[in-house]
Amino acid sequence: MTSRSTEKSAAASSATHTATVSKTPSPDRIRRAPKVLLHDHLDGGLRPGTVVELARETGYGDLPETDADLLGTWFRQAADSGSLERYLETFSHTVGVMQTRDALVRVAAECAEDLAEDGVVYAEVRYAPEQHLEKGLTLEEVVEAVNEGFREGERRARENGHRIRVGALLTAMRHAARSLEIAELANRYRDLGVVGFDIAGAEAGYPPTRHLDAFEYLKRENNHFTIHAGEAFGLPSIWQALQWCGADRLGHGVRIIDDIQVHEDGSVKLGRLASYVRDKRIPLELCPSSNLQTGAADSYADHPIGLLRRLHFRATVNTDNRLMSHTSMSREFEHLVEAFGYTLDDMQWFSVNAMKSAFIPFDERLAMINDVIKPGYAELKSEWLFQQTASTSGSSESEG
């Protein structure tokens, strides 16, 4: 081979490597990409500084730390400890400072602001109104305060050059007996900022079938609901959520992987439940960082989302609890990009999946996909294209 041929071969190899590296989205592009979030808990996403300030203002005296940085570290360490008691304790502190109208407005507004700053254009944020009544608020006052906060956060985001729409999901606790009452509350506020219903809490011992009256009511009212299922308890939880309760989406649903066999030759066989979930395009609200904390996977590279994406399940990417998992939508995608080599095309696929699965009217979902999400990714990909063109042009000139 001549030296000229060798140079051309080396240049081609270098160009291929550069193209591969360049298609990997940078943290900045990941942050700027329009993202859609379906599974985020309001009481799991407070700013540590806000927790400290609200504790002082409301007289809450049980915080383990009163310095914002130290408190943020405590939340992360407690969530990572492997102790269910310590993990649940983290929520006792955030809920503990969310017992007044002003606190709820502030937390909701900051939630919308933080998500918008992270490039989220549509979010459904859930919370349990029944957990915010300790200082005399009514269920209705809780909902109205949170809705006011979300609208204020959307307004502040616009002022800062970001666009976001936030819908609320009202959650009932599985171990309590107020699910029908909360479902009726969600229905009353469905045109006033509340987009659906959810149940949450420990799965083991508290099956979704305990709340059939709430789900039957919501179905009669043509309303939307998701169910926390398949996070810790496994396939029976998923089966009940779908076949008995009629869930529109699965909160987590990561244990559907237990019904999928991957053979040594790489071939895959889906069980009947997994086939049903895929065939019916039932959305999975996957939360990678949270799933690692609860033991659903040992690492991001081992997380079932890789296989579920390859098999074209309706997989979505979510944060769950941003404070406890020290995460954001951008961080979740950064982990997945590193683990699976995902590109902006993959990010767009997840984002469109999520928008298709949102609990707002079809025409509004379609407008978000066609007018916000796809143009946003097209712009980011065009940046890469022009950078590649400039890089290739420079190489040609130097070779000449």
Q: What is the domain-level CATH number for residue 316? A: 3.20.20.140
Query: Residue 17 falls within a domain, yes or no?
Result: no
Query: Residue 294 falls within a domain, yes or no?
Result: yes
Q: How far apart are CA 314 and CA 264, in angstroms?
A: 25
Please report the pLDDT score of residue 84 as a whole number. Answer: 61
CB 125 within 8 A of CB 109: no
Q: How far apart are CA 225 and CA 219, in angstroms?
A: 9
Contacts 24+ apart (CB under 8 A), 271-280: 273/235, 273/238, 273/239, 276/242, 277/238, 277/242, 277/250, 277/253, 277/313, 278/311, 278/312, 278/313, 278/314
Query: Residue 328 falls within a domain, yes or no?
Result: yes
Query: Residue 380 falls within a domain, yes or no?
Result: yes
Which residues lie closer than 8 Å to 347 by C-beta, 6 or more apart? Answer: 25, 30, 33, 35, 333, 377
Please report the pLDDT score of residue 204 as a whole number. Answer: 64
Q: How far apart are CA 354 and CA 171, in angstroms?
A: 19
Please report the pLDDT score of residue 92 as a whole number. Answer: 95
Q: Are strands 194-200 and 165-173 parallel, antiparallel or unpaired?
A: parallel
Give the count of domains, the chain: 1
Strands (E), 296-356: 315-317
**Is residue 231 annotated as part of the catalytic site, yes or no?**
yes
Query: Residue 59 falls within a domain, yes or no?
Result: no
Please report the pLDDT score of residue 86 as a whole number. Answer: 77
- List for the chain the helix, strand, coil content (%; round to 5): 60, 15, 30
Please report the pLDDT score of residue 208 as a whole number. Answer: 84
Residues of the chain with pLDDT below 70 are 1-22, 83-85, 203-205, 388-400
Exposed/middle/buried for 149, CB within 10 Å: 0-12, 13-18, 19+?
A: buried
Query: Residue 6 falls within a domain, yes or no?
Result: no
Q: What residue has token string 């579920």? A: 308
Query: Residue 62 falls within a domain, yes or no?
Result: no
Query: Residue 79 falls within a domain, yes or no?
Result: no
CB 281 within 8 A of CB 297: no
Per annotation, catalytic residue among 144, 203, 231, 332? 231
Is the C-alpha dihedral spanning 295, 296, 297, 300 positive or negative? Answer: negative
Alpha helices (H) in 33-178, listed in sequence order: 48-58, 68-80, 84-96, 101-117, 139-159
Q: How far apart are CA 55 and CA 387, in angstroms?
A: 49
Q: How far apart are CA 236 and CA 241, in angstroms?
A: 8
Q: How far apart are CA 25 and CA 163, in angstroms?
A: 21
Domain that holds residue 150: 38-46+114-384
